[in-house]
Amino acid sequence: MSHRQLSGHGLRVGFDGRSVLDGADLTVPRGGRMALLGANGSGKTTLLRTLSGAVRPSAGEVRVDGVGVDYGRAGLRAHRQVVQLVAQNPDDQLFAADVFRDISFGPLNLGLSEAEVQERVDHALAVLSIEDLAERPIHELSFGQRKRVAIAGALAMRPCVLLLDEPTAGLDPQGVDELVAALEALLADHTTVVVATHEVDFALWWADTAAVLVDGRVHCGEPSELLSDAALVAAARLRRPIVHQVADALGMAASGITEVGSLVAALRGRE
């Protein structure tokens, strides 16, 4: 799949006169893994919905390869083939009786042949490692399984950019491992992945770019650098990553420390 560049420029979105995005700029690195970080209510879901075309900004522009989104029917249809959003709650997204029917709904709506729909569904099931669920009724599935079916449904649209809203929320540790494995498969499949989360430890470990929402604007950068900025982390109402807290307690510079392994390596270097 070709990499397309998704970006937001000066995005403004408000509800009931209250501003949520207030001039947000964001460029999603092609083929990369981006974490969108912010406290509850900071506007993560609103920003993802704006990037997906579901919310139209009152000012500013969402662009793909430098071209602004056309909010007409055909334009949004084209945008959805580039950018897909997976909602935080799978039950907001899944509606068909069984897994196959749910995942095939989008491709069928594109008017693809039966063979191509089957091929897309098989591929999405394989990437998410849920081939065994194909015939199962949705209501029989666990929360983690429903989350993966929702991701498979988005993937079957063959987006260049997949936006995932709090994909780890509500998952147990094994569910998180399975999700991360699925994200790796998506990245290997040349899909750009954006994950909205307030989990700084996950973001530091997983992402290669972080976007932190503060007062309706976005600060982008290398995760370890951004998250070692105590003032920014406090302004975003986030917690400092645990490895950074430990590094601080040990009197070490936290920037560059992304996981326990690099903390241990930095300690060894000081021996």
Binding site for ligand ADP (CB under 6 A): 15-16, 20, 38, 40-46
6 vs 87, beta carbon nearer Mg ion: 87
Instruction: Return the one option of ligand ADP, Mg ion, none that residue 167 interacts with (CB less than 5 to 8 A, by type).
Output: none
As measured in angstroms, the least distance from the Cβ of 197 to Mg ion is: 9
45 vs 191, beta carbon nearer ligand ADP: 45
| DSSP assignment string, the chain | -----EEEEEEEEEETTEEEEEEEEEEEPTT-EEEEE--TTSSHHHHHHHHHTSS--SEEEEEETTEEPP-SHHHHHHHHHHEEEE-SSGGGT--SSBHHHHHHHHHHHTT--HHHHHHHHHHHHHHTT-GGGTTSBGGGS-HHHHHHHHHHHHHTT--SEEEEESTTTT--HHHHHHHHHHHHHHHHTT-EEEEEES-HHHHHHH-SEEEEEETTEEEEE-HHHHHT-HHHHHHTT-PPPHHHHHHHHTT---TT--SHHHHHHHHHHT-
Instruction: Return the one option of ligand ADP, Mg ion, none that residue 269 interacts with (CB less than 5 to 8 A, by type).
Output: none
As measured in angstroms, the least distance from the Cβ of 238 to ligand ADP is: 11
Q: Which stretch binds Mg ion (CB under 5 A): 38-46, 118-126, 132-140, 246-254?
A: 38-46
Instruction: Return the one option of ligand ADP, Mg ion, none that residue 174 interacts with (CB less than 5 to 8 A, by type).
Output: none
As measured in angstroms, the least distance from the Cβ of 16 to Mg ion is: 17
As measured in angstroms, the least distance from the Cβ of 43 to ligand ADP is: 4
Q: Which stretch binds Mg ion (CB under 5 A): 45-53, 117-125, 203-211, 245-253?
A: 45-53
Among 42, 45, 52, 145, binds Mg ion (CB under 5 A): 45
Judged by CB under 5 A, does residue 84 bind Mg ion? no
26 vs 64, beta carbon nearer Mg ion: 26
Binding site for Mg ion (CB under 5 A): 44-45
